[in-house]
Amino acid sequence: MLKFVKNHLESITGIEIYPLISLSIFFTFFLLLFWWVFTAKKSYIKKVSHIPLDN
């Protein structure tokens, strides 16, 4: 089954760009997420962390 899919995908022209696009989107998303986490205000994180405990 995997051999069929691999052979089918190799026959499509221009398919080799999609893994690069996926990797760049993945890397950019997590890079922005880490940047947001490290630059977020401590008071905001403390306030948000108590939301599940408040009734």
Query: DSSP letters of 23-39?
Result: HHHHHHHHHHHHHHHHH
**pLDDT at residue number 34:** 95
Contacts of 15 (CB under 8 A, 6+ apart): 9
What is the count of structural domains for the chain? 1
Rounded-to-integer distance, Cα 40 and Cα 49, Å: 13
Mean pLDDT on 24-48: 93
Model confidence band, residue 21 (pLDDT cutoffs 50, 70, 90): very high
Cα of first residue to Cα of last residue in the chain, in angstroms, is 52
Structural domain harbouring 41: 2-53
Q: What is the DSSP letter of 19?
A: H
Is pTM, for the whole model, over 0.75?
no
